[in-house]
Structure 1
Amino acid sequence: MRHRHTGRQLNRNSSHRTAMFRNMTSSLVEHEIIKTTLVKAKELRSVTEPLITLAKNDSIANRRIAFNRTRNKATVGKLFTELGPRYADRPGGYIRILKCGQRAGDKAPMAYAELVDRPARSSDAFDDDVEMVEEE
C-alpha cells in the first residue's frame, strides 16, 4: 500500500534521490539559481525551504541538523550567515520556480529554481564591461 508516502520517486532508489537533492540544495544555496527539470524543481522546494526556515534561528543544534541534511560545510555556513538573516521576516516561500521551455534532447519541461529576493547581478559590472569593449 502507498498510504502516507509523499514525494516523487523520479525513477531513482532512495539513496540516489537523497544524494541528488543534497547536491541540488547545495548548488541552489551556493549559486542562488539553478536550471533543472520542472518536476525536480518542485521536489527541491520541499527539501530546501525547511532548511532555510531552520537557518532563521542560528544555534549549534540547528547547524548540526542542517549539516546532517546537506553534508556540506560551505552550504551550512551560507545558510546561517546570509540566507537566515535575509529571510528572517518572510514566513515561507523562499524559492521561485520559473518555467523555461523544454530540453532539446527529450522535450522534458525545464525550469529555473531561484531564491526569492536574491541580489540582482549589478548593472555596474555590466556597464564596465561594455565600456572596456567600446574603448578597444
Structure 2
Amino acid sequence: MSTAAADTTNLAAEDIRFIKEHLGEWLAEQSLGKPPAVYEIELRERMVRVEEELRHQRELIKTILEQMDKRFEALQKELDRRFEAVDKRFEAVDKRFEILQNEMNRRFEALTRRIDRFMIWSYAITLTVGGLVVTILKL
C-alpha cells in the first residue's frame, strides 16, 4: 500500500471520530442554539409532562369506564324492572285465559246436560207416541 492510500484511510478514521465527538453538539446547536445540557433538561421536562398527561388520560379513561359501568348497571336494573312488569302482565293474561277457559268448560258442560236431557225426552216421547200408534192400530 502506498502512503497516500494509508493517509486517506487514517484521515477517514479521524473524520469518523471527529464526527462522533461533535455530533451531539451539532444536534443541540440545531435545536434553537441551546447547549446540550439545557436541551437534555428540556427533553426531560417534556417527558415528565407527557408522562403526567398520560397518567391524567389513564385516570380519565378509568373514570369514564366506571361511569359507563354505573350506567350499564342502571340500564340493567331498568331492563330487569321492565321484564318483571311484562312477566306480571303475561301472568295476568294467563289467569284471564284460564278463567275464560273454565267459564267455557262450565258452559259446555251445561249445554251437554241440556242436550242429553233433550235426547232423553225426545227418545221417550218418540217411544211413547210409537207405542200409542201401535196400540191404536191394533184396536
TM-score, with normalisation over the residues of structure 1? 0.22
Q: In proportion to residue count, which structure has more strand?
A: 1
Structure whose CA Rg is larger = 2
Q: In proportion to residue count, which structure has more helix?
A: 2
Could you say which structure has the greater relative contact order, defined with CA pairs below 8 angstroms and 6 or more residues apart?
1
TM-score, with normalisation over the residues of structure 2? 0.22
